[in-house]
Amino acid sequence: MTNSAPLNIALIGFGTVGSGVARILDTQAAAIASRAGREIRIRRVVVRDASKPRPFLPAGVNVTTDIAEVVNDPDIQLVAQLVGGVDPAYGYMKQFLAAGKDIVTANKALIYTHGAELFQLAAEQGRTIGFEAAVAGGIPIISAVTQALTGNRILSLEAILNGTSNFILTRMLDDKHSYGDVLKEAQALGYAEADPAMDVDGTDAAQKLVILTRLAFSTSVALNDFVRQGIDNLELLDLQVADDLGYKIKLLATARLNDGRLELSVQPTLIRKDRAIAQTSGANNIVAVEGDAVGMVTFSGAGAGQLPTASAVMADLIDYATGRTAVTFQSILRSAQQPSLPIQSPDELTRRYYLRLNVDDRPHVLADITDVLGRNEISISSVRQDETPEDRADGDARLVIMTHRTNEGRFRAADAELEKLACLRGTSIRLPVAE
Amino acid sequence: MTNSAPLNIALIGFGTVGSGVARILDTQAAAIASRAGREIRIRRVVVRDASKPRPFLPAGVNVTTDIAEVVNDPDIQLVAQLVGGVDPAYGYMKQFLAAGKDIVTANKALIYTHGAELFQLAAEQGRTIGFEAAVAGGIPIISAVTQALTGNRILSLEAILNGTSNFILTRMLDDKHSYGDVLKEAQALGYAEADPAMDVDGTDAAQKLVILTRLAFSTSVALNDFVRQGIDNLELLDLQVADDLGYKIKLLATARLNDGRLELSVQPTLIRKDRAIAQTSGANNIVAVEGDAVGMVTFSGAGAGQLPTASAVMADLIDYATGRTAVTFQSILRSAQQPSLPIQSPDELTRRYYLRLNVDDRPHVLADITDVLGRNEISISSVRQDETPEDRADGDARLVIMTHRTNEGRFRAADAELEKLACLRGTSIRLPVAE
C-alpha cells in the first residue's frame, strides 16, 4: 500500500473506546494504511488486568499493566491515552511527553483541567496532542474550529454536548415519564453512569464548552466564570408546557460574542421547535457554529459510544501519521497566545425567561409573586396556572410565567425577595428562552 | 505574529467569491496570519476589465487582464482560481501547474470534468490542488470525507447540494406558487442564474455528488452512470400531496453501498418530515454521511453565496500556508489509486415510489393504469384522485399512486405500456421515497 515505515502506537486503556480503536484497526487495516500513508500498528496495550482476553488485538501485541513499558519503549512514537478521569491520566500524559511521545486522547476532563499546561509541555518537548474525541464524540467539531472554519471570526457556538441529558429530556417528554424514572432507564441502557452527577448537573457539557471556547474564541475560561445549570430539577410538566408553547427544552451550551465580550452559559433552554437544535433527540449531539463569513454551519451526530468515539480517535491517529497533526497543533498553540476576550458577567445575560414556581394553592399567591417581579422590573409576557391534578404528590399548584426580555441580575435580586414569600414551595425553575 | 515569510497568492477572477476572499483577507489579516502561521498576501489579481475599481485590495496589488503575469511571477506560490465554468479555467489550471504553482479553486464544473487529470498533473509536478469550496459552499464536507472521517468506511451519503432547487421547492410549498413563478422570483433575488438549467435539471447536484463519491468511496464515476432527474417537472400539487402524506420533496443526491456496489442517484425524493434533510429549507445545503464507525453525521449550512464560499476558499488557503494541504492531497491521490467500486444498474434501484399521472377525467382510466402496473409486478400501496378544480388550466385529473417497494427496471418496462394509453396527458412524475 505504501513504502513508509509503520507507525507504532500504544493504547492506554482497553475499555469501550480502546477496544473500538483496536476493532477498526483490525477490520479496516488496508484502507487505514492507504489514508494514513503507512500502517498503524498497535504494539503495546496497558490495562488494569492483563489476564483478560482482548479481542481485535493482532498476535504479538504486548498487553501489560505497567505504563513504564510504554514510556521506555523507543519504538512507540504515539500513545492513544484512552483512560477517563483526571488521575492517573494526568501523570501518564506528563510521563509520555517527557519521554518524547506524541499523544492522542479522548479524555475531556483531562483536557479541560490540564489542557493548557499539557499543551505547553508538549510544545516545549516538540510533541503534539490530538483530542478530537474529547468533545462531541464522532462529530468532527475540533477539526472544524481549528481547521475548516479558520477563515472566520467565530461569532457564536450553540450546542448540545451531553448525550445523557438529551436522552433523558427526550424520553421524559416522549414517554410522559418523570425525571427519576427516565434516569433509571438511562442507567439500565448504559446511557447514564451509575453516578450521573457530572452529566445531569451540566458539568460535562460545560467542560466541553470550555474546550471549544478556548479554540474558537482563543479565550481562557473556567467553569466558575459562567452560569451552569443542570436538568436535575426539571419536571415533566416543564417539558409539556414548553411543548405547548412551541418550544423544546434542551441542555444548551452557548458561547457568543456580544460587543467584544463573551457570553457563556450551560442551561436547560427553551428552543423553538423548528430549529435543528430543538430536533436533536436521544443521545445525539449537535453544534451550531456561526462564523462572520460562513454564517451558520451545523454539525450533528452521535456524541458518545464506542465506535463514534473511536472514529474520532482514528481521525487523530491518521492525522498524526500523515503529519497534519504537527501543523494543526502549532496553530492551536499560536491561537492560545492570542489575548483572551473578557467574559460577560452572568448578571448581564439578557433573555426571555420561563419560570415555573411551585406554590401553595391559595388566594393572593399570584399577586405576591407578580409584585416582586414587577418591583424588580421583570415584565411578564404570559401566565399559566392549570388546575392542580388530584393525584399530584405534593398537592402544590404549578405557576408558569413567561417574561419579556430581562437579565439574570434582576432575577438574582428578585430571588432574594421571592424566597421570603411563604407561598413558595420546593424548587422553582428559571430557564432562558433562546432567541 | 509570526516570523515566516508571507505567502504570496494571486486571485484569478474578482467576482462574487474573489472579492469575498479579498474582503476576509483585508478585514481579518492578523487573525488569519496567526492561524496560517504567516501572512497571506494578494500580489496579483487577474480580471476581464482591469479598469474597474476593486474594493478590499491592499495598495500595490497588480490588477491585470493577463494570466501570463501570474504564470511568470516566481514570487507567486499559490493561485486561487475563482473563475467558474470549464473554459478557460481548464487551460489556466494546466498553465499554473506547469509553472510549478499550487492551486486552490471553487470551480466545481472543472473539478468534475477534469479533476482526475488535473490531480495527476499536479502530482507529477509535485503540486497540490485544494477544492473545499467546489462542493456545498461553506460546509466543510471535503475536509470531512478526506480527513475527519477517514477512520470510517463510508456507507452512504445523502445530500441536498443545489441551493437553487431547494430554494424553489421551499418557496413553492410555503407560498403556494407554481414552479415557474418561484423560478422567476429566485432569478430576481439572485438565487437562480438567468439560465437555470444546470441547477434545476440536477446537473449541478450530480457533479457535486460525483466529486464527493470519488473521495468518499474512492470510485470513479460520471454523470451518465446514474439516474439524474431535475425539479423542473414538479407541480405545486406534488409538494402538497407529499406534505399531506408526511413527506417533503427534496432534490436528493444519494450514494450508497449496497452489497459492495454503489447505488447513485440525483432525484426529487419524498423524505419523511422528521428527518433533518427534509427540514433543510431555502438555499441551504446538507450532507448526511453514514460511516461504519461514526454512524450518521450531518453537516448543514449555506451551500453558496459570497462569504460562505470565500470561507471555504480561506480554509484551503490557510491549509496550504500551514502545510496541511500537502499531506491531505497525498491522501487524496492514494485514495484515487484504490480499485473503483462497481456501480449498481439504475434498473436495480429499489424503493417505494410516488407517481403523479395527468389523466383524462373519464371512466376506466384508473383500471387501465393499474392494469399496466399490476402486470409489471408494481404493487400499489395507496391511490388518491381529488376532484379536478374548475380553474385548473389543462382540465386534466391528477392521479397520485404510492407503490410498495419495487425497482426502476419494472417502471421502465411499464413506462412503454403507459405511453400507449390514450388517457395519459402531459408529463407524469415518478419520484422515489427515501427509506
- Dump pLDDT digits (tens) for B89-104: 999 999 999 999 999 9
Candidates B28, B274, B294; nearest CB to A308: B294
Statement to judge: residues B269 and B163 lie in one domain: yes
Statement to judge: residues A125 and A22 lie in one domain: yes
Helix (H) or strand (E) holding B403: strand B397-403
Could you count the other beta carbons within 10 Å of the beta carbon of residue B416? 10
pLDDT per residue as tens digits for the range A213-238: 999 999 999 999 999 999 999 999 99
pLDDT of residue B428: 87
- Residue among B163, B167, B198, B161 nearest B183 (CA): B167
State the virtual CA torsion across A230, A241, A428, A234 in degrees, nearest 10. -30
C-alpha span between A19 and A271 (Å, rounded): 37
- Write the CATH number for B414: 3.30.70.260
C-alpha span between A234 and A427 (Å, rounded): 9
B387 pLDDT band, cuts 50/70/90, is: confident
Statement to judge: residues B243 and B293 lie in one domain: yes
Statement to judge: residues A205 and A261 lie in one domain: yes
C-alpha span between A251 and A287 (Å, rounded): 12
* Those residues with Cβ within 8 angstroms of residue B373's Cβ, 6 or more apart along the chain or in another chain: B379, B380, B401, B403, B414
A182 within domain boundaries: yes
Chain centroid to CA B228: 12
Query: Exposed, middle or buried by CB within 10 Å (0-12, 13-18, 19+), for B233?
Result: middle
pLDDT of residue A202: 97
Which amino acid, one-letter code, is at A141?
Answer: I
C-alpha span between A45 and A65 (Å, rounded): 8
Statement to judge: residues B172 and B288 lie in one domain: yes
Domains held by chain B: number: 3
Statement to judge: residues B99 and B149 lie in one domain: no
Which residues in chain A are closer than 8 Å to B155, comparing Cβ atoms?
none
Chain A residue with Cα closest to B301: A297
Q: Where are the alpha helices (DSSP H) in B99-140?
A: 108-125
A1 pLDDT band, cuts 50/70/90, is: very low
Which of A131, A327, A332, A337 would you mutate first to test chain B, the one with the most B CBs within 10 A?
Answer: A327
Would residue B208 show up in a list of annotated catalytic residues for this protein? yes
A426 within domain boundaries: yes
Annotated catalytic sites of A, by residue?
208
A192 within domain boundaries: yes
Residue B370's φ and ψ, nearest 5 degrees, are: -70, -25
C-alpha span between A82 and A15 (Å, rounded): 8
CA distances from A84 to A16, A210, A310, A370 (A): 11, 18, 14, 47
Statement to judge: residues B233 and B364 lie in one domain: no
Which residues in chain A are closer than 8 Å to B140, comparing Cβ atoms?
144, 147-149, 297
Q: Where are the alpha helices (DSSP H) in A358-406?
A: 365-375
Crossing angle of helices A236-245 and A163-175, in 10° steps, is 80
More confident of the two residues B1 and A103: A103
Which of A160, A311, A329, A338 would you mutate first to test chain B, the one with the most B CBs within 10 A?
Answer: A311
Strands B406-407 and B429-433, bridge-based pairing: unpaired
Residue with cell 456545498: B136
Contact B135, B141 (CB under 8 A): yes
Query: Three cell numbers at B375?
Result: 402486470
pLDDT per residue as tens digits for the range A141-199: 999 999 999 999 999 999 999 999 999 999 999 999 999 999 999 899 888 888 899 99
Chain B residue with Cα closest to A141: B148
- Write the CATH number for B236: 3.30.360.10
Sign of CA dihedral B391, B397, B402, B408: negative
Candidates B138, B149, B323; nearest CB to A327: B323
Candidates A31, A292, A297; nearest CB to B301: A297
Contact B311 A293 (CB under 8 A): yes
Mean pLDDT over A256-269 rounds to 96
pLDDT of residue B3: 58
Which of A19, A156, A297 would you mutate first to test chain B, the one with the most B CBs within 10 A?
Answer: A297
Chain B residue with Cα closest to A310: B293
Tell me the residue length of chain A. 435
Statement to judge: residues B184 and B298 lie in one domain: yes
C-alpha span between A5 and A28 (Å, rounded): 18
Flag whether pLDDT at B406 surpasses 50.
yes
B285 within domain boundaries: yes
pLDDT of residue A387: 86
Could you count the other beta carbons within 10 Å of the beta carbon of residue B136? 34
B13 within domain boundaries: yes
B100 within domain boundaries: yes
Of the candidates B208, B248, B250, B273, the residue annotated as catalytic is B208
Enclosing domain of residue B22: 7-137+326-334
Nearest CA to CA, how far is A181 from chain B (Å)? 26
pLDDT per residue as tens digits for the range B279-297: 999 999 999 999 999 999 9
Which pTM value belongs to this model? 0.96
Contact B295 A307 (CB under 8 A): yes
pLDDT per residue as tens digits for the range A280-306: 999 999 999 999 999 999 999 998 899
Candidates A24, A324, A338; nearest CB to B324: A324
Mean pLDDT over B172-188 rounds to 95
Work out the percent of chain A whose per-residue pLDDT is above 90: 85
Which residues in chain A are closer than 8 Å to B298, comparing Cβ atoms?
298-301
Statement to judge: residues A46 and A127 lie in one domain: yes
Nearest CA to CA, how far is A185 from chain B (Å)? 23
Work out the percent of chain A whose per-residue pLDDT is above 70: 99
Statement to judge: residues A171 and A268 lie in one domain: yes
Flag whether pLDDT at B165 surpasses 80.
yes
B1 pLDDT band, cuts 50/70/90, is: very low
Statement to judge: residues B53 and B180 lie in one domain: no
- Residue among A82, A35, A47, A39 nearest A310 (CA): A82
- Residue among B365, B374, B417, B420 nearest B396 (CA): B365
Chain centroid to CA B77: 30
Candidates B297, B300, B317; nearest CB to A138: B297
Statement to judge: residues A97 and A237 lie in one domain: no
B321 within domain boundaries: no
A341 within domain boundaries: no
pLDDT of residue A143: 96
pLDDT per residue as tens digits for the range B418-433: 988 888 887 889 999 9
Contact B295 A313 (CB under 8 A): no
Mean pLDDT of chain B: 94
Nearest CA to CA, how far is B369 from chain A (Å)? 40
pLDDT of residue A113: 97
Contact B61, B45 (CB under 8 A): yes
Nearest CA to CA, how far is B396 from chain A (Å)? 37
